């Protein structure tokens, strides 16, 4: 099974509407969870991360995510999106095996905000 | 301060040629990672360096791929005898040290096209 799964490859949404981008993880990853955003022709930028503590994590640009252990999920949400949020979003986690330090990424979700 | 930089930003080469990609990490970051991003896919881990320790090469797809890093400075990723399936964006990231919970800072990537 894939370590980090993003269930939606494309999410179109109208401006000012709420959005949820889904991410599920497997037991093969450590429970340190990250969301990165990639704007066109740019590198990845960290949106937010969950390490421990409160299960609701707030990030930059009004995004938040909730860690749900029972559902092995870390869905990303924003209550009202802007055109500038159009980008590709990646959920990631480090592998839990051995001395792994690298991140394993989901396949990405392209968020397109429509006027 | 300056972020992670990569050069060249774009590289077009002919099948069978060797290419060298360069990454300048953030000053003071001891960990450096290389990832590959194929069109429409998530990032695949290739290799990481942590200080002067032996690199983790577990993600390199074949012996045509190699990477070097001198101390905590610049890294080069070399692909010998390039194949068309090597076409991808190659992303470099650095972090303060290679622990699972540290944020990785990404460069803008090098887009490699093998004709």
Tens of pLDDT, residues A58-86: 999 999 999 999 999 999 999 999 999 99
Domain B1-75+92-99 CATH assignment equals 3.30.470.20: no
Residue A23 is given by DSSP the state: -
User: Could you give the strand order of the β-sheet that contains B19-24, starting from the edge strand earlier in sequence?
Assistant: B5-7, B19-24, B75-79, B65-69
Confidence band, pLDDT 50/70/90 cuts, at residue B52: confident
Most confident of the following: B17-21, B28-32, B106-110: B17-21
**Residue that has been written with the tokens 């640009």 in this structure:** A61
> What are the chain B neighbours of A29 within 8 Å (beta carbons)?
none
**Residue that has been written with the tokens 């093998």 in this structure:** B114
CB A106, CB A88: distance < 8 Å: no
CATH code (residue A20): 2.60.40.10
Closest residue to A101, CB basis, from B35, B99, B106:
B99
Query: Nearest-CA neighbor of A23 among A52, A57, A62?
Result: A57
Q: Is the bond leading into B31 cis (omega within 30 degrees of zero)?
A: no
A89: domain range? Answer: 4-114
Q: Region B2-18: what's the mean pLDDT?
A: 95
Confidence band, pLDDT 50/70/90 cuts, at residue A32: confident
Q: Does A51 touch chain B (CB under 8 A)?
A: yes
**Cα separation of A91 and A66, whole Å?**
12
Query: Nearest-CA neighbor of A35 among A27, A23, A18, A17?
Result: A23
CB A61, CB A71: distance < 8 Å: no
Overall number of domains in chain A: 1
Range of lowest pLDDT (B21-25, B46-50, B51-55): B51-55
Distance, in angstroms, between B72 CA and closest chain A CA?
17
Contact at CB, B42 and A105, closer than 8 angstroms: yes
């Amino acid at each position: 099974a894939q370590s980090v799964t993003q269930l939606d490859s494309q999410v179109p949404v109208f401006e000012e509407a709420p959005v949820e981008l889904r991410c599920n993880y497997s037991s093969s990853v450590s429970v340190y969870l990250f969301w990165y955003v990639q704007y066109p022709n740019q590198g990845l930028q960290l949106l937010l991360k969950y390490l421990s503590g409160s299960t609701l994590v707030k990030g930059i640009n009004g995004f938040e995510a909730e860690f749900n252990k029972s559902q092995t999920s870390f869905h990303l949400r924003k209550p009202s999106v802007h055109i500038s949020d159009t980008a590709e979003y990646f959920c990631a986690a480090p592998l839990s095996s051995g001395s792994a330090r690298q991140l394993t990424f989901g396949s990405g979700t392209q968020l397109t905000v429509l006027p | 301060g300056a972020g992670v930089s990569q050069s060249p930003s774009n590289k077009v080469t002919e099948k069978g040629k060797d290419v060298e990609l360069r990454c300048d990490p953030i000053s003071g970051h001891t960990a450096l990672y290389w990832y590959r991003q194929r069109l429409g896919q998530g990032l695949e881990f290739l290799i990481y360096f942590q200080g002067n320790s032996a690199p983790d090469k577990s993600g390199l797809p074949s012996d045509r791929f190699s990477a070097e890093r001198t101390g905590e400075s610049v890294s080069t990723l070399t692909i010998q005898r390039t194949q068309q399936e090597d076409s991808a964006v190659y992303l470099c990231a650095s972090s303060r040290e290679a622990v699972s919970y540290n944020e990785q800072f990404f460069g803008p990537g090098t887009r490699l096209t093998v004709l």
